[in-house]
Structure 1
């Protein structure tokens, strides 16, 4: 078999939900891929997820151990790579006492990867940022958010996770501007990510779907979000990596359909029938959610989003890069169907 001389792409955090779909797209398009793992024991797990997505050969995939909290192995990880897609995010401490426990690792991890990429002569880094770096902390905001917007980290009740995403992305842009020496940067800012689940590593949005299907959410908070399919998020990363006009640009990954959590439950019932019979049909009053959040740290970020307009525009990605996302319903249905499959597999003796 002839040697593959196509560009090498480093994808950080290869076991993650978004990262696996990006690796899948890269391998399908003939790129060589190297991916980082904090624990090398997860190699077979990643290959299993890729097999679920249709990959049968792994000649063009390699693994390297690297952790965003350490300088070790990053020079080796980026060696020979033409592009870096930085998806990995430090494992957050959900029971943090000081918000800097989330903010500092996120910022330091991004800078660690960018320094290594610059020093290795990488052409472009695509950073997976988040809607949390765009549309949080704006009281009484009206109309869809665009890439011109940044979250207000000085506002009251902004969760540390969203602060960490905002500060990390701003640090990345500042680094490239001041110390990049020609290193190119693009960012992709996804909203709630749905879509086919290939393994046991999936997003927060997917977890809420599982809770709905299991009947653990009898009623849901009054939160309206935009959604996007993970396959389209992966496509947008590749466009941001390859297209010349993407250099220096941010791109919101969104279907631009604003749905309540109750809308999501209704889509599950419509698309999955009996498998979604436990999906919620009621909403919780905002006062109740805020009261529970006082004692439940995991609800604090949810409570901070109540009553917020979190609609987004995908116009830039569509017009500049020709990106064409699936509908939110298709993305949510894909999550639901693959989650049902996982749940049934896990119940087998």
Structure 2
């Protein structure tokens, strides 16, 4: 029989590509939406790549509520918990992010373990496995945990760390057969399936549209959304992945290098991309008047990188080059006419 997989948050950027990947591999997919009105948007997005047909179904469930989760997991073999509660990642109130992220993950796990689901693959973040010090350099791996009690952490980073820790603590105290695997991605870019939820892709949108005066001295570990979907599915099916964390970061790329890749890869369409690197003091001064910018100033000049050797060795995962990803992302935005 064809296995059925539940993907949480079907309207999300990553979830859309996960659904596509599962359908292309022949799985039946059920995905959660917060209201039936969202179903058409998900079908339309997925249909830009593959025909979902009757193998895509929906369940109404919200990470901030207990209702609907038992029905969502009924009869499924695996759960890919990709969704994160909505919120402003630059908010000053850490609890506004931590509580829904942690409680949402626990709702999914409680329902999944009660239903006897084989495996839950949960999306965390590479910044849940990073040194607390923003000045530390070198390469780290999945054995490192970010200290959630570090007072210098921005709320978003703390929320991802707390949520993942809560998930592992829950599974450790549960005696059932459900296994947990977590995926820790870096900066997620790549083609879009819809203009409804651009997420992290807005950075590329602003660069191509010429809405940035220059590039800050910030390095990103860029992972293609298609490769991120692939590693979730590999982690779901690999026996060796049970009970493991996997970093899913791409190659370390400075923002200035991203700009240069866009200029080269897009030709005339990339004429507005800024290639001038902004001095750190300019970024810090601008952050006094721009709260979203304030959250990234701590990363200026940071060179810490993550190793994906484990994902490559255990899962056979091979992410594509960062330049290919950002150019594909930009071309997609141009095709959708959002730049």
Same-fold call, TM cutoff 0.5: yes
Residue 126 of structure 1 corresponds to 121
For residue 277 of structure 1, the aligned residue among 271, 275, 292 is 271
Quick check: 1:138–1:152 contact (8 Å CA) kept in 2? Answer: no
For residue 18 of structure 1, the aligned residue among 3, 14, 17 is 14
Query: 2:129 and 2:198 mapped to 1: Cα distance?
Result: 19
State the Cα distance separating 1:300 from its structure 2 match: 2.3
Query: 2:245 and 2:89 mapped to 1: Cα distance?
Result: 28
Residue 87 of structure 2 corresponds to 92
Quick check: 2:120–2:179 contact (8 Å CA) kept in 1? Answer: yes
Gap change, CA 1:193 and 1:96, over 3 Å in 2: closer
For residue 37 of structure 1, the aligned residue among 33, 45, 49 is 33
Deviations 1:90-113 (A, max 9, x none): 001457452111111110000010
Deviations 1:140-167 (A, max 9, x none): 3221221112223333431101100000
Query: 1:52 and 1:61 mapped to 2: Cα distance?
Result: 14
Secondary structure of the 2:173 match is helix
Gap change, CA 1:57 and 1:158, over 3 Å in 2: closer
Gap change, CA 1:22 and 1:314, over 3 Å in 2: same
Superposed counterparts of 1:198-217, under 5 Å: 198-217=193-212
Gap change, CA 1:270 and 1:143, over 3 Å in 2: same
Residue 48 of structure 1 corresponds to 44
Is residue 2:157 matched to residue 1:162? Answer: yes
Quick check: 1:218–1:279 contact (8 Å CA) kept in 2? Answer: no
Residue 303 of structure 1 corresponds to 297
For residue 195 of structure 1, the aligned residue among 173, 190, 197 is 190
Quick check: 1:136–1:162 contact (8 Å CA) kept in 2? Answer: no
TM superposition score normalised by structure 2: 0.96
Residue 74 of structure 2 corresponds to 79
Quick check: 2:11–2:197 contact (8 Å CA) kept in 1? Answer: no
State the Cα distance separating 1:193 from its structure 2 match: 0.9
Secondary structure of the 1:220 match is coil
Residue 268 of structure 1 corresponds to 262
Residue 149 of structure 1 corresponds to 144
Residue 219 of structure 1 corresponds to 214
State the Cα distance separating 1:83 from its structure 2 match: 0.3
Residue-pair matches, total: 339
For residue 23 of structure 2, the aligned residue among 7, 24, 27 is 27
State the Cα distance separating 1:32 from its structure 2 match: 0.7
For residue 325 of structure 2, the aligned residue among 323, 326, 331 is 331
Quick check: 1:193–1:203 contact (8 Å CA) kept in 2? Answer: no
Deviations 1:228-252 (A, max 9, x none): 1111111100110010000011111
- What's the C-alpha RMSD, in Å, of the aligned pairs? 1.6
Q: Bigger shift: 194-203 or 12-21?
A: 194-203
TM superposition score normalised by structure 1: 0.93
Residue 231 of structure 1 corresponds to 226
Q: Specify every segment of 5 or more residues in structure 2 that has no aligned partner in the other structure, as ranges.
A: none
